[in-house]
């Protein structure tokens, strides 16, 4: 082998390590949430379980591919905290995950999002404000909805 062939091989290995392996690691680290069907209204059930009052409920349909409709809940707890939780069901994992990617692609204000977003089965659940104590109380009950459907998050 000539020195130029060794240099070409070294360059090819370097390019693979620098450009391809990071994407492979990201793919392994950030896998999709499993798609499963959650029966009922997980936010309503979680609010009832956590002792949070539902002030208002409105039906809503996000203008996104695969969106099948959802609800927007206005919630309050005994401490006087308020939050708005919006849910949207999607007809496939691909359409649901596209909505999540779109949310993170358009985060306003220095990388800080306005609300918190989680995925529960076919639902995308969005809560505002992001640091809401109500959402912190709801999250464990929403994870229980996933466990009840037989999925470990």
DSSP β-bridge partners for residue 46: none
CA distance 142 to 144: 5
Is position 80 within any domain?
yes
Q: Do 68 and 105 fall into the same domain?
A: yes
pLDDT of residue 107: 58
pLDDT of residue 16: 63
CATH number at residue 87: 3.40.1000.70
Pairing between strand 82-90 and 116-120? unpaired
pLDDT of residue 58: 95
Q: Peptide bond before 54: cis, by omega within 30 degrees of 0?
A: no
Query: What pLDDT digit, counting tens, does each position of 12-54 carry?
Result: 777 766 666 565 555 544 455 677 777 788 889 889 888 899 9
pLDDT greater than 50 at residue 3: yes
Q: What percent of the chain has pLDDT over 70?
A: 73
Q: Do 74 and 127 fall into the same domain?
A: yes
115 versus 33: the higher-pLDDT residue is 115
Query: What pLDDT digit, counting tens, does each position of 60-104 carry?
Result: 999 999 999 999 999 999 988 999 999 999 999 889 988 888 887
pLDDT of residue 29: 46
Is position 153 within any domain?
no
Q: Do 123 and 84 fall into the same domain?
A: yes
Q: Do 49 and 82 fall into the same domain?
A: yes
Q: Are 85 and 72 in contact (CB under 8 A)?
A: yes
Confidence of residue 113 (pLDDT cuts 50, 70, 90): low
pLDDT of residue 56: 94
Give me the number of domains the chain comprises: 2
Q: Do 60 and 9 fall into the same domain?
A: no
Which structural domain, as residue segments, surrounds residue 20?
A: 1-31
pTM of the full structure = 0.70
Q: Are 122 and 35 in contact (CB under 8 A)?
A: yes
CA distance 133 to 79: 10
Q: Do 66 and 103 fall into the same domain?
A: yes
145 versus 97: the higher-pLDDT residue is 97
């Amino acid at each position: 082998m000539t020195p130029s062939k060794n240099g070409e091989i070294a360059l090819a290995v370097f390019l693979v390590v620098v450009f391809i392996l990071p994407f492979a690691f990201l793919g392994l680290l950030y896998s999709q949430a499993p798609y499963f069907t959650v029966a009922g209204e997980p936010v309503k059930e979680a609010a009832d379980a956590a002792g949070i009052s539902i002030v208002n409920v409105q039906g809503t349909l996000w203008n996104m591919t695969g969106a099948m409709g959802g609800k927007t809940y206005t919630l309050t707890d005994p401490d006087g905290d308020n939050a708005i939780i919006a849910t949207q069901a999607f007809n496939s994992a691909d359409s649901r995950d596209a909505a999540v990617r779109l949310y993170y692609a358009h985060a306003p204000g220095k990388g800080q999002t306005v609300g918190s977003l989680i995925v529960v089965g076919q639902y995308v659940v969005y809560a505002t404000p992001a640091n809401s104590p109500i959402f912190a109380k709801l999250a464990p009950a929403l994870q229980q909805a996933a466990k009840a459907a037989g999925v470990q998050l």
